[in-house]
Amino acid sequence: MTLQEVPVEQIAKNPNNPRQNVSESKIDELAASIDEQGLLQPPLVRPTDDGFELVHGERRIRAVESLGWETVAVNVEELSDADALELAITENLQREDVTPIGEARSYQMLIDEHGLTQAEAADRLGVSQADISNKLGLLDLPDELQDSILRKIITPWQAKELARVWGDYW
């Protein structure tokens, strides 16, 4: 891994980011902090044919973009698709604003794209196989319930209970 100053415009967003909803107010707060104290932790990118792909650090990149920075210091590392996905998932699972549905979709993507079992994915990500299994079960819920979880109207447990009780109506 090398630290490099690169043009912000050459950094493509990570299409597999588990965190789909990032609050603009949080970006503004981070931008204010970066403006005052500088960028304390460089984002991680991997090289691509046309520049770089963000592995993790989307909020930081969005914050420096909002500040009008033309270049940013990033850690550059050659990573396979599987390794980049694992790092993105691991980094983002520790964030409070990753939804259970976003987490489940990330697990499913890792399993599908890289031919892993739930147990193998759990070992690689440092989570329990039971947690992965429970989260993947959310993807079997009707779209209306998944949407309600995403919007934080109901909890995953409530959604599963609703599906159990009202399953015949979906």
Tokens 């914050």 locate to 63
Measure the N-to-C terminal CA separation of the chain; round to a whole number of Å. 49
Q: Rounded distance, CA 121 to CA 70, Å?
A: 37
Question: Which residues are known to be catalytic?
Answer: 58
Q: Which of 35, 73, 78 is nearest to 55 (CA)?
A: 78
What backbone torsions phi and psi does residue 2 show, to the nearest 5 degrees? -125, 145
3 state SS of 23: coil
Pairing of strands 2-7, 44-48: unpaired
Q: What share of residues in the chain are helix, strand, coil (percent, to 5)?
A: 55, 15, 30
- CA 61, 136, 142: angle at the middle one, nearest 5? 100
